[in-house]
């Protein structure tokens, strides 16, 4: 589908509340430590991240960190409707269920909170504000108080919880992780600023038309999911799909034809070889290979391995900002929908 590129919309400014929002999120460290303390003695065995759409993908980073670093806890990332329709056999009093919904009123997610509590699980909610159906059900409600600084707000809340759980349950030394957190908001803002020209150039190319494939690996796959499902399909009405980089050469690469676009969230960690393989292949068959590279993200005072663990948040910001640039170049408002909020579904 080719978008109308003749009537542009003004480019949305970078969010003025970006750093203040993330600093307020970091200020919730005592409440987050309290969650970890409350569940560690249950004893805690399983963590379920539950949500729909962008809220589901917001927890990919935290889920991946737990899978990589915890030898004690089993972590799961589940769609809210599937969580209820196909309840895990392990769900119970030794479970922590973390449910995310920006509005706090997504029907499936709010229902899933009651469902989890009926099994005796400890329930935590993530949403923009308190006093929502989801927050009112939760044992502990975490909020980020921003209409637009959404995904990084959720990710930073979850990152802090992962740090607390790894320390209490697995006895992992997370002192370097914790020490790097205060510098993260400013570092993310700096990366956003540095990538403005890159995002604008990618948006100009994508606005001309063509199918879009978005690939990433590991903790960064949430960025590919959100860009494809939320920004490109829902908000720009474009044919797009996310692809795990490890699966790229197992079918999806057959669709890399002249005119097709490949957007790559290129991590600066052990998954980098997978996305590099996709980049190298795609460049042989299409001129439209667009790369957001985490190597350009810097985190002052942090060791390279700590920076690499946090970089998924930076790459996710690139997808959000790319959507702003697309809105500018296509003239198609990110607030426009065909069906969502307009018809029964």
Domains defined for the chain, CATH in brackets: 18-172 (3.40.50.10490), 185-330 (3.40.50.10490)
**Size of the chain, expressed as the number of residues it contains:** 345
CA distance linking residue 226 with residue 257, whole number of Å: 23
Burial of 332 (0-12, 13-18, 19+ CB in 10 A): buried
pTM of the model: 0.96
The predicted pLDDT at position 1 comes to 43
The predicted pLDDT at position 40 comes to 95
Contact in structure between 186 and 316 (CB atoms under 8 Å): no
Tokens representing 161?
Answer: 């919880």
The predicted pLDDT at position 116 comes to 98
The predicted pLDDT at position 93 comes to 98
CA distance linking residue 217 with residue 68, whole number of Å: 13
Q: What is the pLDDT along the chain (345 residues), one digit of tens a residue?
A: 444 445 789 999 999 999 999 999 999 999 999 999 999 999 999 999 999 999 999 999 999 999 999 999 999 999 999 999 999 999 999 999 999 999 999 999 999 999 999 999 999 999 999 999 999 999 999 999 999 999 999 999 999 999 999 999 999 999 999 999 999 999 999 999 999 999 999 999 999 999 999 999 999 999 999 999 999 999 999 999 999 999 999 999 999 999 999 999 999 999 999 999 999 999 999 999 999 999 999 999 999 999 999 999 999 999 999 999 999 999 999 999 999 999 998
Number of helices (H), then strands (E), belonging to the chain: the values are 14, 9
The predicted pLDDT at position 4 comes to 47
Contact in structure between 24 and 32 (CB atoms under 8 Å): no
CA of 147: how far to CAs of 13, 144, 150, 183, 312, in Å? Answer: 14, 9, 7, 23, 21
CA of 15: how far to CAs of 251, 265, 328, in Å? Answer: 38, 22, 16
């Amino acid at each position: 589908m080719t978008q109308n590129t003749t009537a542009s919309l003004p480019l949305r400014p970078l969010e003025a509340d970006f750093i203040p929002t993330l600093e307020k999120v970091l200020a919730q460290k005592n409440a987050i430590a309290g969650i970890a303390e409350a569940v560690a003695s249950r004893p805690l065995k399983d963590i379920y991240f539950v949500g729909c759409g962008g809220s589901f993908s917001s927890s990919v980073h935290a889920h991946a960190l737990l899978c990589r670093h915890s030898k004690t806890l089993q972590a799961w990332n589940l769609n809210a409707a599937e969580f209820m329709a196909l309840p895990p056999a392990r769900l119970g009093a030794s479970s922590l269920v973390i449910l995310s919904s920006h509005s706090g009123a997504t029907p499936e997610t709010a229902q899933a909170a009651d469902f989890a509590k009926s099994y005796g699980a400890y329930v935590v909610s993530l949403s923009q504000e308190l006093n929502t159906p989801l927050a009112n059900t939760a044992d502990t409600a975490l909020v980020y108080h921003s209409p637009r600084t959404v995904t990084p707000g959720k990710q930073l809340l979850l990152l802090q919880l992962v740090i607390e759980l790894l320390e209490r349950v697995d006895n992992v030394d997370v002192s370097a992780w914790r020490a790097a957190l205060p510098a993260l908001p400013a570092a993310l803002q700096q990366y956003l600023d540095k990538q403005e020209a890159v995002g604008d150039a990618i948006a100009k190319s994508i606005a001309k038309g063509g199918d879009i494939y978005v690939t990433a690996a590991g903790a960064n796959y949430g960025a590919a999911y959100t860009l494809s499902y939320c920004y490109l399909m829902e908000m720009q009405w474009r044919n797009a799909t996310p692809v795990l980089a490890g699966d790229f050469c197992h079918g999806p690469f057959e669709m890399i034809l002249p005119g097709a676009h490949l957007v790559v969230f290129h991590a600066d960690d052990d998954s980098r070889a997978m996305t590099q393989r996709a980049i190298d292949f795609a460049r042989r068959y299409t001129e439209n290979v667009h790369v957001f590279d985490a190597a350009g993200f810097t985190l002052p005072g942090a060791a390279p391995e700590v920076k690499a663990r946090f970089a998924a948040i930076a790459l996710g910001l690139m997808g959000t900002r790319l959507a702003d640039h697309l809105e500018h170049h296509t003239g198609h408002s990110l607030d426009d929908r065909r069906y969502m909020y307009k018809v029964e579904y």
